[in-house]
Structure 1
Amino acid sequence: MALALIRKTVPEADDAIVDYIDGYLKDANFDDDDEDAIADFVKPILLDAGGDEAKIDELCEQLINMLASNKKETTPLKGLSKLENTVVMGQQSGLSATAMFSKGSVDLDHVSGRRVQSQVNQDKLRKAEAKIAAKMAKRAEKTNMRIEYEASRLIESEQKALQEAYKLYNPILDYTSTKGKNKDIKIENFDISFAGRRILTDANLTLAFGRRYGVVGKNGIGKSTLLRAISRREVNVPHHISVLYVEQEVIGDNTPAIEMVLRADVWREHLLEKERDLSAQINLIEAQQSEGELTEEEKKEFEAQKDRINGELKDVFAKLQEIESDKAESKASAILAGLGFPTPDQKRPTREFSGGWRMRISLARALFCKPDVLMLDEPDNMLDIPAIVWLESYLKTWPNTLLVVSHDREFLDEVATDILFMHSEKLDYYKGNYTQFYATKEERRKAQIREYESQMQYRKHLQDFIDRWRYNAKRAPQAQARIKILEKLPELEPPEDEKIVKFQFANPEQLSPPILQMNEVTFGYNPEKVIIRNINIDVRMDSRIAIVGPNGAGKSTMLKLLTEENKPMSGMVHRNGRLRIAYFTQHHIDQLDLTKSAVAFMADRFPGKPEEEYRRHLGSFGITGMVGLQVMKTLSGGQKSRVAFACLSAQNPHILVLDEPTNHLDMESMDALQTALGQFQGGVIMVSHDERFISTVCHEIWVCADGVLSKFSGTIKDYKELVCPKDTVL
């Protein structure tokens, strides 16, 4: 009935709109006072669909009557029409209904020009208002529940998509059957493009099985794109070679962390599932045999089935024994422990862990299932120093092929046996770790420059002779010979000009001490959950302090106490009245408006200067040319970090507070930041896990552990050896 009325009143409305309204009226389960539901929901939709307002008002009346007649009991509110008129007037005058009726009478001079005394019973009015408010809240709750349901369905579908992608790129492969096969990878003359930009051209990829390759190159050069192309077999990787790229965190659900790691070995899971299936078949046959009398033929058939299934089961047990399935749980537990998961946490559901810890579980899965080619994309970004030291030691004994992207030189020095250098759409190979690569690369570059300059000089000598004697009858044969020599010379490309990245922080005016002090400071979200206690630290204009310690120990919390983001439960934080602090957070990219260019963003944050000055300031942090005018969402992670550093410098701080400042920076940018901090005449206090960066920049090391901040007397190398000795048995 309602459907027909709507189609008749608003014939131009789309069928989808009409069906939606009809479904809403059927499913809404109205309780009282349906007028507001019709007026607030149905009428605006029909008006938007192009209907006539007078006809729609008439339709709404009919719908209200229909809904009222369908109820078993009706309790019409006396004086409802007056209530409606009053509410409309209140809205027109900018007042709420409650405010209008807070007195016994209402002045309506501004509406009618004369005084009108309200006849509405105030008690009934308040009850009516309460009913309307309750109904609107109930409707909002239903809407929220519907949104949450749809969101949960979307998340569930995304999780299933991720699981299917994992199965697609990590198919069930009997890795016991691939023993003895050649697992070297040699792919020649391939191209890779991403988003319309060429990453590699006529490249050759050669990976010797068992070697550990550090993949290096500038930010945005395409390192992650190369690893992703290998994992998706967009390049011709042999099918018998298992490949795994650790890129995304595991799905957060009710699966315990250790179970999530065990499931990563898809071949083991397949064998266990087959074992359960075969055992169930045997149990079913034995149950059928015990049910009653069987003919000789049936007995023979059942016995034959049992023999066949037992044979299959024996093969499954043999394969499980071959892969040491019984030791799998202890291996998984040891890997999780090395990555910072104590034994009780290993049994917690993955949904209870933050994104960073779920990334650790993803890394643990990769280490556990031991693919033929393991690819890690900046794994040290999500780890604290103890976990990095453990991972270094673990990967040094990795038996298969490893490709790891990292900007941590110490990590690459410990792990890599070879370096794969990406530049100018090419791949270059170097034997040795990063330090050896860097020295060899410089030697190669110098040799290329010498060779290029020598050839250019030789070409000039030949060309001068040709130009001088080409048309001389006696010397013409000699000139022709030199022309042939010139044509046969190989064309040498000039060596690339290495762009030097520079950072520069403005030096602030000096302040009289004390600058920034914390005395017996304790912080927690409640007295039962104290995170860090009894902090005593003095930050001066010449301070260079590194704070280290395990994840979750309170390092970032301590920095937030310095910057006043957190307020202490007890103790005192003293700041100089003229002190300016600039804070670089772990999530600094979230603080940028990625829909704007770097220049426009700086103009919004620090208004009142000409565009040239913003561009010049960004240029001092490597954001030069058109890069400063690009929308920031198109920039690489390292370029966004440079914009964040430029904004920090624009605050002209006395103290720089830096939380993991090197995470997204390439090595050239890290060198530039180290140099800039060395020249900066203000104080620096930072949280970092990069050994080289800490040893270059900082003079003091403070350890945050077990809720206490204490000064460490040794170097960062000493601390690394203390938390995870090199001779630790894995």
Structure 2
Amino acid sequence: MSAFTGILRREFPAMDDELKDYVEGVLCGSLDDFESCDDIYEAVGDILQSINAEKTEDNIRDLCHQFFNIIKLKSSHETKKVLNAPVNIAEMAATMEATDKDVQSIWVVNKDAGNKVDTKKLEKAEAKLQQKLEKRLDNRTVQPTQVKLQTATASQVISKKSNKMEQKGTNRSMDIKIENFDLAFGDKVLLQNADILLSFGRRYGLVGRNGLGKTTLLRMISDRQLAIPSHISVLHVEQEVVGDDTPAVDSVLECDFERTRLLKREKEILAELNNGTQDAGLSAELSEVYIQLQNIEADKAVSKASVILKGLGFTTEMQSNPTKSFSGGWRMRLALARALFSRPDLLLLDEPTNMLDIKAIIWLENYLQTWPTTLLVVSHDRNFLDVVPTDIIHLHSQILDVYKGNYEQFEKTKNEKLKAQRREYEAQMAHRSHVQEFIDRFRYNANRASSVQSKIKMLEKLPELKPVEKEVEVKLKFPEVDPLNPPVLAMSDIQFRYNENDALPVFSNVNLSANSDSRICIVGENGAGKSTLLKIIVGQLSTIHGNIVMHRGLRIGYFAQHHVDHLNMNVTCVGVLEELFPGKPDEEYRRQLGSFGISGTLALQSIASLSGGQKSRVALAKMCMAQPNFLVLDEPTNHLDIETIDALGKAINTFAGGVILVSHDERLIKVVCKELWVCGNRTVRAIEGGLDEYKREVYKEIEENS
């Protein structure tokens, strides 16, 4: 029996043998493994406290101190020992499930209700210990540093009733209920003891700050790492369509597997009959195939697919082009078209408007309003969230709150709820203070002893309310610069071709100008030349036709549409700035990142571990490090959450230099835009009346083509 066994049996009599062996295995290290009592507490403290909730943190730390003294004494007399291999909890669970059919959860659930172990904490302790060992090994043998990509994990306790219904196949409900699940990304807990109910036919908008786990939750649902009834079909639009020789419209039609199967069988039967086969059974089967094709309205499939493709911007000619001829953005649109056509029981969309222009967004909003099955969409487009969802799911503080109505109604309800919670908390604090004052005043008054005791009991029975956590306001800060005297930027008679042999230019006869007070938004359909125009302005593309005049003091900051492609995934946020602007103190890099909400430990994380919105903020910080006095922003709102988009609008309005941006976010355009440039018909023109006038043109065009 080891020196630790006696202490563990005395202090934790209900501890099972497997867990005791695991804790002992962790403690059988040396002083190389544990440099202090705190290291031991980090390794096993959470586990021990979960076994016996009556023990306080101080009790557990005292035990860890005893363990540390034993390790020190042992290390002074014995040679160093190699730590035993950690217990694989997943394998243990699989073994127990094979021998005990009553085990229903993903991890082991102890039948003794008084001795439940938090498996998440157990895994966390293992991970911390492993990290310590790896760190010490790295210090001994210097090797090239590599970024270890973190992965998402999910755990869920499934009820026996749900499990039996799934096994028997008796669950035919189309509602999706995911109960009692945890979600983590690496060591970061995203959701804890969460529940979510998706009622069939409802449209849910999932909102929350960047980095809280919205995309991760969608992936866990689509991968069925969270239990979804097997009879419910799930489709997550995440990967672009693989390019091959299949025409775009046929790629969409392939999603209707039943139609494809019936048409294939029809072709096979007709081939046999045409070859002279005389079989009454084949003729009967052919008749049945025709009936089934008629029932699923197979004759209308091509027109339905064409309508969807056209709404997403595919012209008639483009619909016949092979999928390999499209760029990544168009293949993502094709993936969206396939999903809309196939109509799964649960459709998962992650930022669907990022790949669309305003015209396609308007079409998609109208199309999804009559979506017949269940929809769960992550979006940061305020207008989209006001038009499409019937319910809003708010992810915050590791929980999910559901609100009826669109985003505007959600904001009102949430604010009222927070005000009520704040008033309730303040009222209880005032009441507690008043009662405590009475107790303190008459604590030693014998005549008031019974009153004091009743007041004390009353305080103990009051529900403990926690103060309402106020979300930190997102602030973005562009550099403080002096405005330039006009003219700052002027283009005259610009014409551009990617290849001089092209029959038609991308655009021609462009005559536009911008100054330090300009707030210009460029809109237009995809492929009309918006990004091309920006690249000409910043000098990435040159044109021999026309003239561009720039102020000699002009310093342009350019935010590219695919900014993530220009970030080194293998360095930290601070490292990104250090690579571009070497030799500056770390404080300056961190101050710059802090101006865009990347502060604290977040600034020291690798780029690969950040969410899409956090990467965007790093790219903005990188752009502004050179103190630009004119900003050219190509789709800056992609991946940003709603709060950050609002902060971006405020930052643009307070910036002393000029701004030209390409965006499809209506709210941002209305907040900052003073002038609208429209790309279309192979030219760029300024439009009077702003966004409202442009939307009227778009609606008119949609009506004419419908």
Asked if 1:362 corresponds to 2:353, the answer is no
* Residue from 520, 526, 544 that aligns with 1:545: 520
Residue 355 of structure 1 deviates from its aligned partner by 0.5
Aligned to 1:579: 554
Q: Distance in 2 between matches of 1:536 and 1:679?
A: 27
Q: Distance in 1 between matches of 2:572 and 2:346?
A: 39
Task: Give CA deviations for 1:33-88 in whole Å, capped at 9, x if unaligned.
Answer: xxxxxxxxxxxxxxxxxxxxxxxxxxxxxxxxxxxxxxxxxxxxxxxxxxxxxxxx
Aligned to 2:370: 397
Aligned pairs for 1:152-551 (under 5 A) are 182-279=173-270, 286-287=276-277, 306-307=280-281, 309-529=282-502, 530-551=505-526
Task: Give CA deviations for 1:633-684 in whole Å, capped at 9, x if unaligned.
Answer: 2222211211121122222222101111111211111111111110001100
Whether contact under 8 Å (2:351, 2:639) holds in the other structure is no
Residue 282 of structure 1 deviates from its aligned partner by 5.7
Q: Distance in 2 between matches of 1:500 and 1:453?
A: 22
Aligned pairs for 1:52-131 (under 5 A) are none
Aligned to 2:52: none
Instruction: State the number of aligned residues.
Output: 534
Residue 457 of structure 1 deviates from its aligned partner by 2.2
Task: Give CA deviations for 1:492-527 in whole Å, capped at 9, x if unaligned.
Answer: 232222111111112322323211110101111233
Q: 1:600 to 1:243 in 2, by over 3 A?
A: closer
Q: Distance in 2 between matches of 1:533 and 1:617?
A: 40
* Residue from 632, 635, 640 that aligns with 1:660: 635
Whether contact under 8 Å (1:518, 1:535) holds in the other structure is yes
Asked if 1:612 corresponds to 2:587, the answer is yes
Whether contact under 8 Å (2:485, 2:516) holds in the other structure is no
Select between 199-208 and 349-358 the one with higher mean Cα deviation.
199-208
Task: Give CA deviations for 1:349-390 in whole Å, capped at 9, x if unaligned.
Answer: 101100000000000001101112111110000001111111
Q: Which amino acid aligns with 2:595?
A: S
TM-score (norm 2): 0.72
Local SS of the residue matching 1:203: strand
Q: Which amino acid aligns with 2:302?
A: E
Q: Distance in 1 between matches of 2:189 and 2:484?
A: 52
Residue 608 of structure 1 deviates from its aligned partner by 4.0
Task: Give CA deviations for 1:16-41 in whole Å, capped at 9, x if unaligned.
Answer: xxxxxxxxxxxxxxxxxxxxxxxxxx
* Residue from 590, 593, 601 that aligns with 1:626: 601
Q: Distance in 2 between matches of 1:260 and 1:316?
A: 22
Select between 585-594 and 704-713 the one with higher mean Cα deviation.
585-594
Select between 690-699 and 625-634 the one with higher mean Cα deviation.
625-634
Aligned to 2:90: none
Asked if 1:591 corresponds to 2:557, the answer is no
Q: Distance in 2 between matches of 1:341 and 1:447?
A: 50
Residue 283 of structure 1 deviates from its aligned partner by 6.0
Q: Which amino acid aligns with 1:428?
A: D
Q: 1:314 to 1:697 in 2, by over 3 A?
A: same
Residue 567 of structure 1 deviates from its aligned partner by 1.1
Residue 425 of structure 1 deviates from its aligned partner by 1.4
Q: Distance in 2 between matches of 1:187 and 1:601?
A: 40
Q: Distance in 1 between matches of 2:516 and 2:259?
A: 58
Local SS of the residue matching 1:422: strand
Residue 310 of structure 1 deviates from its aligned partner by 4.5
Q: 1:693 to 1:320 in 2, by over 3 A?
A: same
Whether contact under 8 Å (2:476, 2:647) holds in the other structure is yes
Q: Which amino acid aligns with 1:496?
A: E
Q: Which amino acid aligns with 2:420?
A: A
Q: Which amino acid aligns with 2:665?
A: D
* Residue from 681, 696, 699 that aligns with 1:706: 681
Q: Distance in 1 between matches of 2:564 and 2:177?
A: 38
Whether contact under 8 Å (2:475, 2:644) holds in the other structure is yes
Local SS of the residue matching 2:190: strand
Local SS of the residue matching 1:475: helix
Local SS of the residue matching 2:692: helix
Local SS of the residue matching 2:189: strand
Q: Which amino acid aligns with 2:264?
A: E
Q: Distance in 2 between matches of 1:331 and 1:655?
A: 46
Q: 1:391 to 1:631 in 2, by over 3 A?
A: same
Whether contact under 8 Å (2:310, 2:316) holds in the other structure is yes
Local SS of the residue matching 2:557: strand
Q: Distance in 1 between matches of 2:624 and 2:642?
A: 21
Select between 482-491 and 397-406 the one with higher mean Cα deviation.
482-491
Q: Which amino acid aligns with 1:231?
A: S
Local SS of the residue matching 1:226: helix
Residue 476 of structure 1 deviates from its aligned partner by 2.7
Aligned to 2:612: 637
Structure 2 gap segments, 5+ residues each: 1-168
